Structure 1
Amino acid sequence: MDKLSNMSVYVKVVEMGSFTAVANHLDSTVGNVSRSVSALEKVLDTRLLQRSTRRLSVTDAGQRFYERCTKILADLEHAEAEASNAALKPRGTLRVHCVPGLARHLVTSAVLEYRREFPQVTVDLLLSQRMPNLLEDQLDISILIARTLPDSAYVSQKIGISHCVLVASAEYLQRYPAPMTAADLADHQCLLLGTVDYVRDEWQLKGKSGNVTFIPQGPSFSVNDMDAMAVAIREGAGIGLMAGFSAIDDLRAGRLVRVLPEYHTHERNVYAVYTSRQFIDAKITRFIEKLKKRVGAELMKTAEELIV
């Protein structure tokens, strides 16, 4: 293998932290990956990685070389893309991860609109609650809802904000008087939502009069998916949290009713996350622009309507 190929393999080893992961990613063997790194170390006459049976660690020289390699490879990729016009015209396959609720209510429509504008791009949309490893899973972009993102080498752009509100069906509130204070929730059937970003056993609510934490006692139903929660609420099972973008149509139609409308959860940010590179393919930049224009606008409109 030539030097550029070895540099590319080395960069992936540093980013993925494992010879095995890189071998799987490249459809190669651990031996080939190891030989690529060893060849670089021989040419450079320096140790780039410290190897043990449990882990790999990057030496100081290895870190400096990694940073140089990423710039060189990015410049080469950019040059190749400019020559093929990929930097200007979106094309190819765009692999997108998104949290399920947001995908079903807002992102899928944005994807379809994006495809109408750029028919030369094929979009693969993967739904999952948890943030993936973009490199290992060979994804171009991940769309997440979180208060903050963990430290990583990824780049992120904020698309908008989201809140959850307390809602119940009109039928449920005909049977049980609506609570007037957060303490009154103790007399109701409270449906619990437990996701990556929401603690199942407590509701942390924010209002003009201050913050309130309510701990439901003896819940009749709990679930880790917002859409399943929405079904239970619509069928009159009790009071629960729903994302504003999920509840807004039912609230407008009167099928659902806000409970304690002066309260909502603390805001969560909606992020578009992608791998850190000097050059970003046009299919990614145009898709992020579409997310901001379509999804960001809908989130803002919902927040203006629900958050008083």
Structure 2
Amino acid sequence: MTRRWWGALIAAVVLTATIVVPNVPGRRIAGEPVAGVVAGPPSAGDCVTWMADPWPRFDRPAPQVDDVMDYPTASTGPCPDPGGGPIVGEVVSVETTASPPARISATDYLSQLAQCPIDAIAYTGSIAPVVDVGGGTSVVWAAQPEFRYTRVGPDRAQRARGQHWSACLIGADDGSPYDGRLRDVLTAGTLPPPFGACFSAPDLSTAEAVACDRPHAAELIGTARLGPRPVTRDDLRLACVAFAGRALRTADPTRGGAIDIRVATGPEPATDPVVDSFVSCLVVAPPGTSFARSLIGLADAPVPAG
């Protein structure tokens, strides 16, 4: 009997709904339906608020030809005013005639990405790498900002509107958001914290990587690979000091002893002169002190003590 009662009740509710609901006056909105706004192609210098991250698939051994992925996309637009919130990247360059596929093999993607670091040099600027140490010998330093490049294309809605383009983006190596801008950062700006290579100690063989906006003892500003021509340790340190002056953009990168400039060699045994070795150029805080941010682009500002 109970089951019959419930069945009758449900039938009554359904019947009532079919009669009443169509006659309940609804809220009508005047006007014509409008399609959602679809962003146009990005422009060089735009800021990135979100981007797809294709890089986890490259953390394992080299991807295979049949490893296919969606072509990365991103949300871009005009950069916010200073203090208007962090971003995750910037648009370095745009190819307005490119037609990237909706899906691409990982190996083909790496080939398409190869131009991005080259385009980025004109965007971020660069630190002059060659330091002459005399006798026809030079040390060629490679700056070590933690940049990562991603090539993106139109999303599904943009493709449906017939957009054809690809863009090179620059961001932090770990995808961290940041304040500040990377345009001309190596020639006129100061490096935002996620892009520095900062460490808990000067001995890189045992030190831990540290975020550059946290107290840290050392920052790696350059590396070099020496060939068979010998370079004395004194000349190597002078070359490191010269490169540090360019990176910090100051005539005295030691700041009268407030910053120690060191060369680390290894893991090869220490020799003098040095040949066929990988060497690092470091800025180091004096004992008992630390830095509070990257020193690249410090110029004449006070040393940021941690």
TM-score by length of 2: 0.22
In terms of Rg, which structure is larger? 2
TM-score by length of 1: 0.22
- Structure in which a larger fraction of residues adopt helix: 1
Higher relative contact order (CA 8 A, sep 6+): 1
